[in-house]
Amino acid sequence: MRNNIAWIVLAAVMLAGCGDKTAGTSAGTIGVAFETLQTEYWVASRDGIAAELKKRNLNMLEAIADGDANRQFEQVRNFITRRVDGIIVVPKDAQTVVPMIREANRAGIPIVLFNRPPAKSDARSVTVVADNFSITKDTVAYLADQALKAPGKRQAAILIGDLGDINAIARRDGFEEALKPHAGRIEIVSRIPTEWNQEKALAGITNALQAHPSIDLIFVSSDLLLPSVVSALKSRGRYLKVGEPSHVVLGGFDGDATAYRMLTEGYLDATGVQDVGFDTAATVQAVVDLKAGKTVPETLLDPGFVIHRGNLAQVAPRMWGAGVRK
């Protein structure tokens, strides 16, 4: 028993030692609350924010909600109790973050949202978000040009994200808008809901390829879902390189390591890239500026860019997925 208690005390002391880095001569502490770190994009973003904070001699107090909005609310309240100098939140969704912003407003602590804007309310915050609509529109416009190089009518499909996520909706709308001018030649035959879930994506695209075997163009709303599409195409013998007969024109969004590998190997036509370097720097700068009492626009848009085989060598250094080791 005595040994058990000794172990508990030792574990608590070790935890304290490994976690608390706020001592010393830092310029302050920023609470960073991520919804999840279960995809490469979030890990790259977390690392980017950590690097930007370190650059400015700011400590990072991090918390991950593991997809639970209530837990995230509790974590933000804990940050406020700790009297952090600023809060950065990657919210689970647009609605549940509003009470968190209100709490931060009441405590007079600046709060910046990363990647997802809040629902309309009287709560005050700054959001750094990719221009999901425009990046998707540009990406799909490129894909349409590739698909239309072949004669005749073409069929297209989209894998849609979680419709509770405003970014997923913007990407879906960007897809639809890009194909509008080609309505006579490109027909959208399948809109597959995935809720950002790879299993649902695989089942959905498999069914779509069964119902429409001649789909020529597929857009995935996140590169996270590319492995599902690859698996479904392979099982139908249609996972082919750009330029091969029966190649399915394939595009994505995010710019992760899988997309980079597929681009370099010639299986992916294009992907819309969120500029993680821009996003993380703008987020940390916004929280620093707000703390200093400066005025910051309510939304800071990341224009992003489209990467395809034509500009791969030129823009790959700006693609975050190119720097992730697989």
Partner 1 sequence: MRGLLTSRYLVAVLAAACFAVCAPLIPGMATSGNLSNLVWNMLPLAVVTIGEVFVLIAGGIDLSVTAIIALCSVTGALVMNGRTGYLAGNPAAAPVAVLFMLLVGALLGFLNGCAVTRLRMPAFIVTLTTMMFFGGFAVWLTRSANIDALPPAFNGLAGFGTLTVAVVVALAAHRTLRHSIFGRWLYATGMNARASLVSGVPVHAVTIAAYSVSGLLAAAASVLYTARLETGSPVLGQRIFLDVIAAAVIGGTSLFGGRGTVAGTLAGVLFVALLDNSLNLLGVSFFLVFTAKGVVILVAALLDSAAQRVLGEAVE
Compute the least distance from the CB of residue 18 to partner 1, in Å: 7
Distance CA 175, CA 305 (A): 15
Does 68 help bind partner 1 (rule: CB under 8 A)? yes
Does 77 help bind partner 1 (rule: CB under 8 A)? yes
Does 6 help bind partner 1 (rule: CB under 8 A)? no
Does 11 help bind partner 1 (rule: CB under 8 A)? yes
56 near 288, Cβ under 8 Å? yes
List 26, 39, 95, 198, residue binding partner 1 (CB under 8 A): 95
List 51, 63, 189, 240, residue binding partner 1 (CB under 8 A): 63
Compute the least distance from the CB of residue 15 to partner 1, in Å: 6
Burial tier of 195 (Cβ tally within 10 Å: 0-12, 13-18, 19+): middle
HSE of 147 in the Cβ direction (CA atoms, 13 Å)?
31
Tokens encoding 320: 């975050």
Sequence-distant (6+) residues with CB within 8 A of 241 are 247, 265, 266, 267
Tokens encoding 169: 């909706």
Compute the least distance from the CB of residue 69 to partner 1, in Å: 6
AA letter at 17: G
Does 20 help bind partner 1 (rule: CB under 8 A)? yes
Sequence-distant (6+) residues with CB within 8 A of 291 are 28, 85, 86, 110
**Closest-CA residue to 19 (of 73, 78, 77, 101):** 78
Q: Which stretch binds partner 1 (CB under 8 A): 67-75, 151-159, 228-236, 264-272?
A: 67-75
Beta-strand relationship, 299-302 and 270-273 = unpaired
Does 314 help bind partner 1 (rule: CB under 8 A)? no
Does 66 help bind partner 1 (rule: CB under 8 A)? yes
Binding mask 179-218 for partner 1 (x = CB under 8 A): --------------x-x-----------------------
Compute the least distance from the CB of residue 29 to partner 1, in Å: 9
Does 162 help bind partner 1 (rule: CB under 8 A)? yes
Q: Which stretch binds partner 1 (CB under 8 A): 15-23, 127-135, 279-287, 298-306?
A: 15-23
Which of residues 74 and 187 has its CB atom nearest to partner 1 in the complex? 74
Does 54 help bind partner 1 (rule: CB under 8 A)? no
Which of residues 103 and 269 has its CB atom nearest to partner 1 in the complex? 103
C-alpha Rg value of the chain to the nearest Å? 22
255 near 223, Cβ under 8 Å? yes
Compute the least distance from the CB of residue 302 to partner 1, in Å: 24
List 39, 47, 51, 78, residue binding partner 1 (CB under 8 A): 78
Burial tier of 7 (Cβ tally within 10 Å: 0-12, 13-18, 19+): exposed
Sequence-distant (6+) residues with CB within 8 A of 240 are 246, 247, 248, 267
Positions touching partner 1 (CB under 8 A) are 1-2, 4-5, 7-9, 11-13, 15-16, 18-22, 34, 37, 46, 60-64, 66-71, 73-75, 77-78, 80-83, 93-96, 98-99, 119, 162-164, 193, 195
